[in-house]
Structure 1
Amino acid sequence: MASERKFVAENIRRVLLKEYLMKTVDRAGFGGVDVQRTPMGTRVTLVTERPGIVIGRRGAAIKSLTKAIEDNFHYDNPQIEVQEVENPNLNAQIMAEKLAFALERGWHFRRAGHSTVRRIMESGARGCLIIISGKLTGERHRTEKFKDGYIKYCGETRLLFVDTGFAVAKLKPGVIGVQVEIMDPDARLPAEIDVMPMDEAIKANPDLEEILRKEDEVSVIAEHPAEEPPPEDDKEEVAE
C-alpha cells in the first residue's frame, strides 16, 4: 500500500508541476514537460515555442524558475532543459492554447475550430480532432467537434501516435474547454504493410529463390498427379 501511495503522490506532483509551468511560461508557448530522475538529480525537459523567453537575459529567468520548482515541488537538484518545438502546428498543447486565446479575443467558435483544423492538416498531420465544450451560444452547455483526416480513439496506437492537449478559455458566460488531438504524420498503423518487389525481396533474402522454386514444383505435382496403376482384375484379363 505504501508503494501505491507513493506512486499516486508522485503523479499528483507531476500534474501540479505541469499546471504551474503552463501558467508560468504561457508567453513562451508551453508545449509539454517531461520529468526524469537522474543520478545527479531531476531533469525537467520543457518544450516551448519560444525558448528565449524561458531562458531570459543571461539565464536569469531559467534560474528563477529552477529555484521555484525546487522550493514549491521539492525536486532534488532540478535541472531544466529547454527544447524548441520543431513545428508548433503539430503540437496539440500549443494549438489548444492558441485556440483558447482566439476564443477569448472574440472569435466565433466555428471559425476558430475550422481555422485550427486547417492549419494542423496543412502542416502534414495525418488527422486531428478538436472538441470545444461550454456555453458557446446560449445559456445551455454544448459540445462541438471538428474533425479531419484519420484519428485513433483507443488502443496502443493512440498512446503512441496521438498527441493530446487541453486548454481553457475564460469568457463572460463561463469557461470553455478546448481539447485538441493530433495524429502523428509518421504514424504507421498495424494493418499497413509495404509489398516489396520480387527482385528486391530475393536480394534481401537469398534463400527466397530456392523456397519459391520448391513451391512451384509442389504446385506442378499437385496439378498433374501421376496416373494410378490399373486394378488387379484388369491385370489378369491382360494376361489371359
Structure 2
Amino acid sequence: MIEKTFVREGIKKVRMNEYLGKELERAGYGGMEIKRTPMGTQITVHVEKPGMIIGKDGRRIKKLTDDINRKHEMDNPQIDVQPIAVPDLSASLMANRLAKLIERGWHFRRAGRSTLQRIMNHGALGCEIIMTGKLRGPRGRMEKMVDGYIKHCGEVAEEIVDRGYSIAKTKSGIIGVQVWIVKPDAVVPGNFHMVAVNRDVKEAVQEEKEEKKVENTEVEKREKERKKGKGKGKEE
C-alpha cells in the first residue's frame, strides 16, 4: 500500500538524519534534504564547516557515501555539501549547540537565555526555545523562552519558521530541546515598508492632480452655464 511506502521513506529519512548528526557533529551539522533524481538519490547536507566533510582529495566524503550506500540502502547516493551562511540562524545547529551546553553542566535557563539572545542579536525576527524533561528534580517539566514574532500553526508557520530538534543526555535523564527561528528575510503577513518617493515622481503626481482639478473646474463651469441657459429659456 502507498501508506506503507510513505512510512518506510519517513523512517529512512529519520535514521539518515540521526546517522549524519552523529558522523558530522564536529563539522557543525545543520540538517539535510533528500531528493530523488534520475541519476540516483541526492543528499544535500548543510554544515558549518564543509572542509571537514570533504576531507583531503575528497576521501572523507567518498567514505561517507560508501557507508550510506551500505548501511541505509540508498540508490546511488550523491552527497552535496552546502555551507550554512549564518550558523547562528540555523535552528538545527543551534538546537545541537544548546543540547551540548546542557550536557556540559550549564544550567538550563542560563543556556537557553544565552542561545536565545545570540539568535536575536543576529537579526532574527523571532525565536522560541522549548526544553522538556527532568530539568530540575525527579519530575519532568517544560521550560519555554520566547522573543520577537513567532508563528505556531498554518501555512505561514510552515513557510517562515525554521525548526530544529536535539536531545541532551544528562545524569538525571534525557532532555529534549526544540528551537524555532523566524529568519530576518521572512515575509511576515501584515508587515509593510515605507518607500521614499522620488522627487520627479512626486512632482509628476502633483501636476497630474492639478490638471485633473482644472478639468473638473471647467466641467463645473460648463454645467452651470448650461443650467442658466435652460432657466432663461423657460422664463421667455
SS of aligned partner of 1:169: strand
Aligned residue in 1 for 2:163: 164
SS of the residue corresponding to residue 81 of structure 1 reads strand
Instruction: Report the equivalent of 1:54.
Output: 53
Amino acid at match of 1:156: E
Once residues 53 and 84 of structure 1 are traced to their aligned partners in structure 2, the CA distance between those partners, rounded to angstroms, is: 11
Indicate the residue corresponding to 2:128 in structure 1.
Answer: 129
Which whole-Å CA distance do the structure 2 matches of 1:82 and 1:32 have between them? 11
Structure 2 residues without counterparts, runs of 5 or longer: none
Counterpart of 2:82?
Answer: 83
Using the aligned pairs only, state the percent identity. Answer: 45
Q: Deviations over 1:166-223 (max 9, x none)?
A: 01011111111100011111112232234545558959xx9x8998679757987999
Q: Gapped runs of 5+ residues in structure 1?
A: none
1:64 paired to 2:66: no
1:61-210 equivalence runs, <5 A = 61-197=60-196, 199=198
The answer to which of 169-178 and 218-227 deviates more is 218-227
RMSD: 3.2
Q: Which region of structure 1 is more displaced relative to structure 2, 58-67 or 169-178?
A: 58-67
Structure 1 residue 113: deviation in Å? 0.7
Q: How far did residue 224 of structure 1 move?
A: 9.6
Task: Tell whether 2:43 aligns with 1:39.
Answer: no
Deviations 1:30-86 (A, max 9, x none): 101011122221111111122232223433322221112112222111111112212
The reply on whether 1:12 has 2:16 as its aligned counterpart is: no
Equivalents in 1 of 2:200, 2:75: separation in Å?
53
The C-alpha deviation readout for 1:140-184, integer Å capped at 9, x for no partner, is: 211111111211222222222211110101111111110001111
Amino acid at match of 2:75: D
Change (3 A) 1:58 1:201: same
Displacement after TM superposition at 1:103 (Å):
0.5
Q: Measure, in 2, the Cα distance between the counterparts of 1:229 and 1:151.
A: 63
Q: Counterpart of 1:23?
A: 22
Residue 194 and residue 58 in structure 1: after superposition, are their counterparts in 2 closer, same or farther (change >3 A)? same
1:201 and 1:195 map into 2 onto residues whose CA distance is: 18
Gap change, CA 1:198 and 1:122, over 3 Å in 2:
closer
One-letter amino acid matched to 2:134: K
Q: SS at the partner of 2:74? A: coil
Range 188-197 or range 72-81, more displaced: 188-197
Distance 1:164 1:196 in 2: 32
Whole-Å separation in 1 of the counterparts to 2:218 and 2:175: 72
3-state secondary structure, aligned to 1:28: coil
Distance 1:48-1:214 versus aligned 2 partners, 3 A rule: same
Total equivalences in the alignment: 233
SS in structure 2 at match of 1:26 = coil
Deviations 1:111-156 (A, max 9, x none): 1011001111111111111111111111121111111121122222
Cα distance between partner residues in 1 of 2:215 and 2:193: 27
Q: Structure 1 CA distance, aligned partners of 2:149 and 2:179? A: 14
Structure 1 residues 210 and 85, CA gap change in structure 2 (3 angstroms): same
Quick one: distance in 1 between partners of 2:141 and 2:115?
Answer: 19
Deviation at 1:7, TM superposition (A): 2.8
Indicate the SS of the match to 2:64.
Answer: helix
